[in-house]
Amino acid sequence: MTGGIKEANAGTAWGPDLAKLKIRALVLEGQPDPKEPYFGVRITWDGEKPAVEFFEADEYTGKDVYEVYPEMFEKYGRKASIASMGKAGEMGYSNSGIVFNDMHQRPSRYAGRGGLGAVMASKRVKFIVLDSTGAPAIEMVDKALFDEGRKKLIDAIRSHPISQPKGGLNSYGTAVLVNILNEAGGLPTRNFSAGRFEGAAKTSGEAIFETNKERMGKEVYNHACSPGCIIQCSNTLYRPDQSEATSCIEYESTWSLGANLGIDNLDDIATMNQLCNAYGLDTIETGGTLGVAMEAGLLEFGDSKGAIKLIEEMGKGSALGRTLSAGTGATGQIYGVRRVPHVKGQGMPAYEPRAVKGIGITYATTTMGADHTAGYTICPEILGVSGKLDPLSPEGKAALSRAFQATTAFIDSCGHCLFIAFPILDIATGFEGMVQECNGVLGTNWDADAIVAYGMETLKVERAFNLAAGLSKEMDRVPEFMKTEPLPPHNQVFDIPDSALDSVFEGM
Amino acid sequence: MTGGIKEANAGTAWGPDLAKLKIRALVLEGQPDPKEPYFGVRITWDGEKPAVEFFEADEYTGKDVYEVYPEMFEKYGRKASIASMGKAGEMGYSNSGIVFNDMHQRPSRYAGRGGLGAVMASKRVKFIVLDSTGAPAIEMVDKALFDEGRKKLIDAIRSHPISQPKGGLNSYGTAVLVNILNEAGGLPTRNFSAGRFEGAAKTSGEAIFETNKERMGKEVYNHACSPGCIIQCSNTLYRPDQSEATSCIEYESTWSLGANLGIDNLDDIATMNQLCNAYGLDTIETGGTLGVAMEAGLLEFGDSKGAIKLIEEMGKGSALGRTLSAGTGATGQIYGVRRVPHVKGQGMPAYEPRAVKGIGITYATTTMGADHTAGYTICPEILGVSGKLDPLSPEGKAALSRAFQATTAFIDSCGHCLFIAFPILDIATGFEGMVQECNGVLGTNWDADAIVAYGMETLKVERAFNLAAGLSKEMDRVPEFMKTEPLPPHNQVFDIPDSALDSVFEGM
């Protein structure tokens, strides 16, 4: 999508399985002719080392992932961890993600952003199936140190209100943020034309929880997407007949398909979410693009049935569906829309840069295009995690974004879930524990400074890639309209000067 | 289209009329709300100075330019010179041009490339009507010097085989190049998969001339698009019933809608050409995009009726039409095509970089995206104008492209037609004459060195604009497939190293 480098994360057992198979990373080189058949890769443990086999996979293409995954589990057993992509990836869509199954074999966890599904499909690889059965435990240089760190981190997670059992994430999922951002005036509404949505509460994590409670006759807490996770933030929305409507509805998804489109019908949002999963679409990009389509007059804001139909067009690969699947920036260009919330072509996530200045700096300057996870300044700006900063103030936000981007690059690299950020930022022993875990596994001697340095080094490599790919620092900008159009309710513009944006990675 | 700066040229009386009205340039500032009505600007001579009036123009929108222009001439008289854009511009298409009428009131001359029609429409300006009736002659500092220069230039034009009366351009139009490039193996065929087209002769300038001769019962030579032009290269294709099918079919158009699509039916090419004119589409971009659409499997190469239908979709503004109208690069991305002949999103014109290396350097490095007119190295590489160079050799081509780009920037700036390049490059007195014309009008003291310096200064400003807009030198590249896929019949790849591309404007 961006023409630059891409990282995307999902949880699930796939990563731990890869590690158990003694593989640090898989590198897929080359690009077969698009007329070649699709194939799958399966990696198992042969008693001493990983064993790799290939299998033909053309028969699994052109289908919904919900149809294909059960067939794969049937074939390779329920212990398999499967990475794949849907029709969206096969059709080369810029809004296609890579899907992984959760602990209940649902193909519901997406490394969503930037078109990685299309990149995987361009390799003609439909599946990467891992089965670590029989493989030994992950080797550690200093297991005692790891265990010490693990205990500290677990204690921090269990004592922090956001991450603790029956806390914010476990009860309401990431969608716990809907009401918080709405209250802060930073919930982008109707294609980023306001920061507060009158229907927000109906689309919130609390609403999902209450709806489930009513439909299931009991409180339903969220589930883990990866083995051993104690945060357990993955939610499921149930239908009145107690069947699953979709899993999981992230904050980003209930926003992109909700407030961003002026839609407050949770069941329709769930339908859209499920369609995105079925086709292999990034929900953020899909919703962002639909917002631009609404701005262009293709349909009215609030028209949830029309939005569902447009997502179905994406699944069909019609001309309209293909256009929208090129993403927020491309759709804006094709329909001549001036208010297009994107950076480097990638649609903005669920935090308004005009109401939360630091996250706007992250959107503009990260190597990824508009991406909140690359430097989640929401922690201090909105949540009061690691102290509380005024979200409307531009003061010190460039340095804040840089610090978050560097630390995040480390957390992503070491395989911890980003949601440990809440406890480790607030609880010093939690941070210590995270570092000790890494040192215990790897035999490194990292401290806080080393971690930031490691993250900065990662960002340096990513930026060098982007520069070589033609993405210059002049592209590190938010769209023009955000600099001139005041956003209700705070009536703020994005007032971070270009020089401050350039300062984030100056001299790097 | 490119996200950078844009120049585009067309002939006609519009430029001279502006000069007679004592206006050097019109600057349209700002960007009204897209809900504002369209208006027209009319500039006349009030006896002492230009007089400007505005008029409402909404009633002329949504129509073909062939319908609108007669209404405007009816209203403002046949002496008017009119700049406008068609539906393509109104719909914000990246492949929309700005149209000017020729000396016979045909809206047939396009400043075609890069989406300038959409830029004009974004100002809500539907027309700029000039009428220089009553205005004095253009003032000159030294009329005797101008006349001396003019005579030399006219003599050179009249004695050069390409530009002389009943010479190449006057007989066959720019389409005289079809057979020449085909012979040289540099005529891009079927989306740049070969350099020679078996049906080329049927789509050539000679074929247009012979077809007209048969249908009109006499030899038909071409007409001038601007007052006083002695080259007179604008052709018309007539139908069997002697009505006009279209005017004009440039080399670029008969190629983009012909060889590039594997189409050799001249009448179908004329139909497509006429549709492009009617809607306000750039023929090069339209044909380039259709080539990519054929590569994507939307229709077969050679399917002229299908191609006509796709152009009609562009006119309708359907989802498919809008997608294709985003241009060659965008269509390639949306349909997941790997062989996409573009630079900076703009489709390549009618010269194959693998068969004519210098022009490939111009495509890659000009500020305009893939553009042949920015540095037309075809002169020495193919036509033997200013000496003859081996088109397949990479030797010295970076310096060649730079020299042509600088000189062209000057010629474009002073308002001479680029086609004087043939005589002034071959005939020293012709070049002298061109310089004397400029010095006579402006009172400057330019010589050959000053002209190159002026051109380089122009390019420097353009490049600074592009850098500030985020177009870095890493985007000065031809598509990857041209570096690896040998092109028949010479089986050459584009073997100009990146360092040579970077050297074109190094240190600028």
A-chain residue closest to B322, CA distance: A334
Q: Which of B351, B385, B404 is at the close of a domain?
A: B351
CB pairs under 8 A between A and B: 73
A92: chain B residues, CB-CB within 8 Å: 335-336
Looking at this predicted complex, what is its ipTM? 0.90
**Would you call B338 and A471 a contact, using CB atoms and an 8 Å cutoff?**
no
CB A421 within 8 A of CB A160: no
Whether residues A103 and A76 fall in one domain = yes
Question: CB-based contacts of A297: which residues, under 8 Å, 6+ apart?
Answer: none
B-chain residue closest to A344, CA distance: B470
Return the axis-axis angle of helices A304-316 and A266-279, rounded to nearest 10°.
10
Which among B298, B230, B208 has a CA at the least distance from the CA of B261? B298
Whether residues B42 and B115 fall in one domain = yes
Query: What letters, b where the CB count within 10 A reaches 16 and e where it falls short, cover A298-309?
Result: bbebebbebbbe
Q: Does A330 touch chain B (CB under 8 A)?
A: yes
B283-305 pLDDT per residue, tens: 999 999 999 999 999 999 999 99
Whether residues B101 and B83 fall in one domain = yes
Q: Does B467 touch chain A (CB under 8 A)?
A: yes
Which among A244, A262, A256, A165 has a CA at the least distance from the CA of A208? A244
How do the residues of chain B divide into helix, strand and coil, expressed in percent and rounded to 5?
45, 10, 45
Q: Is residue A314 part of a domain?
A: yes
A94: chain B residues, CB-CB within 8 Å: 333
CB B249 within 8 A of CB B237: yes
DSSP string, A422-488: HHHHH-HHHHHHHHHHHHHHH-----HHHHHHHHHHHHHHHHHHHHHTTB-GGG----THHHHSPBT
CB A2 within 8 A of CB A344: yes
**Would you call B323 and A323 a contact, using CB atoms and an 8 Å cutoff?**
yes
Q: Is residue A101 part of a domain?
A: yes
CA–CA dist B425, B435 (Å, integer): 13
Question: CB-based contacts of A25: which residues, under 8 Å, 6+ apart?
Answer: none
Selected residue of A31, A299, A337, A472 to mutate for chain B interface (largest B Cβ count, 10 A) = A472
Backbone angles phi, psi at A302, to 5 degrees: 95, -10
CB A97 within 8 A of CB A3: no
Which among B267, B262, B287, B261 has a CA at the least distance from the CA of B276? B287
Looking at the predicted structure, is the pLDDT value of residue B508 above 90?
Answer: no
DSSP string, B389-421: --TT--TTHHHHHHHHHHHHHHHHHHT--GGGH
Whether residues B371 and B458 fall in one domain = yes
- Nearest Cα of chain B lies from the Cα of A45 at a distance, in angstroms, of 36
A91: chain B residues, CB-CB within 8 Å: 336
**Would you call A336 and B470 a contact, using CB atoms and an 8 Å cutoff?**
no
Whether residues A294 and A372 fall in one domain = no
The one-character DSSP state at B251 is H
**What pLDDT, on the 0 to 100 scale, is given for residue A236?**
97
A338: chain B residues, CB-CB within 8 Å: 31, 34
CA–CA dist A280, A277 (Å, integer): 5
**Would you call A472 and B468 a contact, using CB atoms and an 8 Å cutoff?**
no
Residue A267 backbone zone (phi > 0: left; psi -120 to 50: alpha; other: beta): alpha
Tokens standing for B393?
């050799």
Number of domains observed in the structure of chain A: 3
Q: Does A5 touch chain B (CB under 8 A)?
A: no
B91: chain A residues, CB-CB within 8 Å: 336
Percent of chain B having pLDDT more than 90? 99
Nearest to B326 among A320, A333, A477 (CB): A333
Provide the terminal-to-terminal Cα distance of chain B, rounded to the nearest Å: 25
Return the axis-axis angle of helices A65-76 and A266-279, rounded to nearest 10°.
60
Whether residues A261 and A209 fall in one domain = yes
- Nearest Cα of chain B lies from the Cα of A327 at a distance, in angstroms, of 9
- Nearest Cα of chain A lies from the Cα of B31 at a distance, in angstroms, of 10
* Domain of residue A30, CATH code: 3.60.9.10
Band of the pLDDT at B182, cuts 50, 70, 90?
very high
Nearest to B323 among A34, A322, A475 (CB): A322
**What pLDDT, on the 0 to 100 scale, is given for residue A107?**
96
Q: Is residue B70 part of a domain?
A: yes
Side-chain half-sphere CA neighbours of A302 within 13 A: 4
Whether residues A343 and A357 fall in one domain = no
Which among B104, B36, B29 has a CA at the least distance from the CA of B66? B104
Provide the terminal-to-terminal Cα distance of chain A, rounded to the nearest Å: 25
**Would you call B326 and A338 a contact, using CB atoms and an 8 Å cutoff?**
no
CB B252 within 8 A of CB B174: yes
B94: chain A residues, CB-CB within 8 Å: 333
Whether residues A361 and A503 fall in one domain = yes
CA–CA dist B424, B376 (Å, integer): 14
DSSP string, A119-132: HHHHTTEEEEEE--
Residues of chain A with pLDDT under 70: none
Band of the pLDDT at B507, cuts 50, 70, 90?
confident
Looking at the predicted structure, is the pLDDT value of residue B37 above 90?
Answer: yes
* Domain of residue B461, CATH code: 1.10.599.10
* Full domain range(s) for residue A233: 169-352
Q: Which of A317, A352, A387 is at the close of a domain?
A: A352
Predicted structure pTM score: 0.94
B-chain residue closest to A121, CA distance: B336
Q: Is residue B162 part of a domain?
A: no
Whether residues A274 and A387 fall in one domain = no
CB B262 within 8 A of CB B197: yes
Side-chain half-sphere CA neighbours of B342 within 13 A: 29
CB B283 within 8 A of CB B252: yes
**What pLDDT, on the 0 to 100 scale, is given for residue B147?**
98
Report, as an integer, the average pLDDT of B39-44. 98
CA–CA dist B160, B168 (Å, integer): 9
Q: Does A118 touch chain B (CB under 8 A)?
A: yes
CA–CA dist A15, B264 (Å, integer): 56
- Nearest Cα of chain B lies from the Cα of A377 at a distance, in angstroms, of 26
**Would you call B470 and A475 a contact, using CB atoms and an 8 Å cutoff?**
yes
Tokens standing for B45?
């001579």
Q: Does A120 touch chain B (CB under 8 A)?
A: no
Q: Does A322 touch chain B (CB under 8 A)?
A: yes
Report, as an integer, the average pLDDT of B360-376. 97
**Would you call A118 and B336 a contact, using CB atoms and an 8 Å cutoff?**
yes
Return the axis-axis angle of helices B266-279 and B304-316, rounded to nearest 10°.
10
**Would you call A336 and B91 a contact, using CB atoms and an 8 Å cutoff?**
yes
Q: Which of B309, B333, B351 is at the close of a domain?
A: B351
Nearest to B92 among A31, A320, A336 (CB): A336
CA–CA dist B149, B446 (Å, integer): 13
The one-character DSSP state at A138 is P
The one-character DSSP state at B162 is T
Helices (H), A347-393: 357-365, 378
**Would you call B34 and A471 a contact, using CB atoms and an 8 Å cutoff?**
no
Q: For chain B, give the mean pLDDT.
A: 97
Tokens standing for A356?
């939360």
* Domain of residue A313, CATH code: 1.10.569.10
Tally DSSP H helices, then E strands, for chain A: 22, 10
Q: Does A326 touch chain B (CB under 8 A)?
A: yes
- Nearest Cα of chain A lies from the Cα of B489 at a distance, in angstroms, of 23
- Nearest Cα of chain B lies from the Cα of A459 at a distance, in angstroms, of 19
- Residue B9, judged by CB atoms within 10 A of its CB (0-12, 13-18, 19+), counts as middle
Looking at the predicted structure, is the pLDDT value of residue B34 above 90?
Answer: no
Whether residues B360 and B499 fall in one domain = yes
Q: Is residue A103 part of a domain?
A: yes
Q: Is residue B340 part of a domain?
A: yes
Whether residues B376 and B304 fall in one domain = no
**Would you call B474 and A469 a contact, using CB atoms and an 8 Å cutoff?**
yes
Backbone angles phi, psi at B68, to 5 degrees: -80, -40
CA dihedral B102, B107, B109, B111 (to 10 degrees): 130
**What pLDDT, on the 0 to 100 scale, is given for residue A507?**
83
Nearest to B336 among A91, A318, A338 (CB): A91
A-chain residue closest to B334, CA distance: A326
Question: Would you say how long chain A is, in residues?
Answer: 508
Q: Is residue B436 part of a domain?
A: no
Q: Is residue A80 part of a domain?
A: yes
Q: Does B326 touch chain A (CB under 8 A)?
A: yes
Within the 15-74 window of chain B, which residues sit less than 8 Å (CB to CB) from chain A? 31, 34
- Residues linked to residue B40 through DSSP beta bridges, in sequence order: B55, B127
Whether residues A59 and A92 fall in one domain = yes
- Nearest Cα of chain A lies from the Cα of B174 at a distance, in angstroms, of 32
- Nearest Cα of chain B lies from the Cα of A470 at a distance, in angstroms, of 5
Return the axis-axis angle of helices A448-468 and A397-414, rounded to nearest 10°.
90
Integer Rg of chain A from CA: 22
